[in-house]
Amino acid sequence: MGKYKLSKFFNLQACTKCGNCLINCPVLNYDINKAKLEIKKLINLEDSEVLYHCHSCFSCNLFCEYSCKPYNLILYNLFIRYKKYGLPPTAKLVLPNETFNLWNGLKSILPQYEKNIIKEWSKPLKNNILLVGCFTQIFPYLTDSSLLESLNPRGTEKFWCNAGHIYQLGLFNIVDKIGEILLNKYKSCGIKKIITFMEAEYSMIKNIFPIFGHHIDIELETLSHYLLERIRNGDIKLRNRLRGKITIHDNCFSKSLGEDSWNINRDLVKELGLEIYEMKHNKKSSLCCGFGAACYSFSVLDIIKQAQCRLIEAKSVNVQAIVVYCSACLFILSVAKELLQIKIPIFHVFELVQLAMGEKPIHNHSERAWDIISIFTIHLIYSIFSKRFKIKNNLIPENSELKLSFNFNILKIINKLLKIKLLRHFYVCSLKDY
Ligand code: SF4
Ligand code: SF4
């Protein structure tokens, strides 16, 4: 595979082929013989069943006592498959250099107020920035807070979320190119510090880009860490301490950061006054929100089924809300909650900080979920008539005004229709058989 050698990603020498990584996987449910068989297939780059069921959740890296990085081995196999067969058309939804993607779909239906927020994020980079991330861009209102004003929020979908989701798909050549482009950009703009809204962006700069030979010497901090420190040193005053029981959903990238990430987010929630009840699958064995469940198929149904497991598990611990600290998890769980009509509130941890300091978060997740459902609906129809494809070389196209094509006009109509409660009800009922 040219410059991408397996040994760069996976420690073959240290691997005993014991299968422990796959036995402990919270998704696969393999016995020892099956686990050993499948790990051998992955090492031999044969067509392993793992590639059809893995949720790309990072956990197995933490289950290997020899630190061989079996998750990277799975990604390597996904990379080989991509080189051979490309991606299914639904993947275009999450590719910022495609015309009909999630972001352009949303731009065609977002209120002007939210378009203006995104416009602010496109301004030139400064010494210190808050990198908001392409999945936070699904909820621009999330960043509408006095707490973030001085942090210079920047970074539209053109920053590809620092290639976090692209890495989870095993698209190593694209991660490599994006890493090179972005880190050069950060260097040439003289960036000294990045606070990341999403942990995926943090982990990509700190842990993943260096595997591809891309390094940058800057200060990095997650937003949760920044908020926790400011609450503890009194810079953020909590006027309205919260009460109640919540559960926390740990995102896939948190597992590349480990205890630090899990503890910071739990400490933050406790500082606000809330009690945490853990789900059965938490921290290192946390289940994916559904995003990674589609890594082999890009099936919306696979995504929703996995999100259903997560929401049901959250409900089973009898809490008042599920708290996430990743905008992609907020996106997937919010859509699933609407489609499955599961009644549990979902909050981003940042919204809870806003509430505790006396701000009123906009919290429009339910309506935004239906905006996304409109986009999914049109895109699925469009995908029926499209073929598998490889990602275009032009990763960061020049800024251009969105041209309202046929797809976007149809999208606007579907979006308006799905604002009608009765039609939403029919939509939800039509999915029950699946
Ligand atoms: S990667 Fe680690 S846990 Fe998995 S088979 Fe190899 S040695 Fe065992
Ligand atoms: S990445 Fe997650 S789902 Fe995939 S094999 Fe590893 S632990 Fe299992």
What are the extents of the domains in the chain? Answer: 6-83, 91-372
* pLDDT number for residue 15: 98
* pLDDT number for residue 382: 85
Residue 28 Cα: closest atom of ligand 2: 8
Q: Give the separation between CA 43 and CA 24, rounded to whole angstroms.
A: 18
Overall average pLDDT of the 270-286 stretch: 97
**How many angstroms does the Cα of residue 263 sit away from the middle of ligand 1?**
27
67: β partners: none
Overall average pLDDT of the 263-269 stretch: 98
* pLDDT number for residue 240: 93
CA angle 307/60/283 to nearest 5° reads 55
**How many angstroms does the Cα of residue 65 sit away from the middle of ligand 1?**
7
Reading the block at residue 371, the tokens are 């905006």
Amino acid at 273: G
Reading the block at residue 148, the tokens are 């973030």
Overall average pLDDT of the 64-75 stretch: 98
Overall average pLDDT of the 369-375 stretch: 97
Overall average pLDDT of the 253-266 stretch: 95
Q: Could you tell which of 30, 56, 64 is best to mutate to test the pocket of ligand 2, judged by most ligand atoms within 8 Å of the CB?
A: 56
* pLDDT number for residue 399: 56
Q: What is the pLDDT of residues 287-323, one digit of tens each?
A: 999 998 877 778 888 899 999 999 999 999 999 999 9
* pLDDT number for residue 151: 96
Q: Residue 148: in which H helix or E strand, if any? A: none
Q: Could you tell which of 6, 7, 12, 20 is best to mutate to test the pocket of ligand 1, judged by most ligand atoms within 8 Å of the CB?
A: 20
pLDDT-derived band at 111, boundaries 50, 70, 90: very high
**How many angstroms does the Cα of residue 52 sit away from the middle of ligand 2?**
11
**How many angstroms does the Cα of residue 289 sit away from the middle of ligand 1?**
25
Reading the block at residue 431, the tokens are 């999915």
**How many angstroms does the Cα of residue 133 sit away from the middle of ligand 1?**
33
Amino acid at 208: I
Give Cβ neighbours of residue 4 (< 8 Å, ≥ 6 apart). Answer: 76, 79, 172, 173, 176
Of 216-225, 337-346, 425-434, which gets the smallest average pLDDT? 425-434
Q: Which ligand is nearest to the CA of 35?
A: 1
If 0-12 CB within 10 Å is exposed, 13-18 middle and 19+ buried, where does residue 58 land? buried
SS3 category, 248: strand
* pLDDT number for residue 406: 63
* pLDDT number for residue 383: 86
Average pLDDT, the chain: 94
SS3 category, 224: helix
Give Cβ neighbours of residue 241 (< 8 Å, ≥ 6 apart). Answer: 272, 273, 356
Q: What is the pLDDT of residues 171-215, one digit of tens each?
A: 999 999 999 999 999 999 999 999 999 999 999 999 999 999 999
Q: Which ligand is nearest to the CA of 60?
A: 2
Q: Which ligand is nearest to the CA of 168?
A: 2
- Is the per-residue pLDDT at 434 higher than 70? no
Question: Which residue has the least CA distance to atom 1 on ligand 1?
Answer: 70
Q: Which ligand is nearest to the CA of 58?
A: 2
Q: What is the pLDDT of residues 14-53, one digit of tens each?
A: 999 999 999 999 999 999 999 999 999 999 999 999 999 9
- Torsional sign, CA 84, 89, 91, 94: positive
Q: Give the separation between CA 27 and CA 22, rounded to whole angstroms.
A: 9
Question: Which residue has the least CA distance to atom 7 on ligand 1?
Answer: 15
**How many angstroms does the Cα of residue 25 sit away from the middle of ligand 2?**
5
Q: What is the pLDDT of residues 383-424, one digit of tens each?
A: 888 999 999 988 987 655 455 566 688 899 999 999 999 999
Answer yes or no: are the C-beta atoms of 252 and 58 closer than 8 Å: yes
Which residues have C-beta atoms less than 6 Å from ligand 1?
Answer: 15-21, 39, 64, 66, 68, 70
Q: What is the pTM of this model?
A: 0.95
DSSP 125: P
Question: Which residue has the least CA distance to atom 2 on ligand 2?
Answer: 57
Question: Which residue has the least CA distance to atom 8 on ligand 1?
Answer: 18
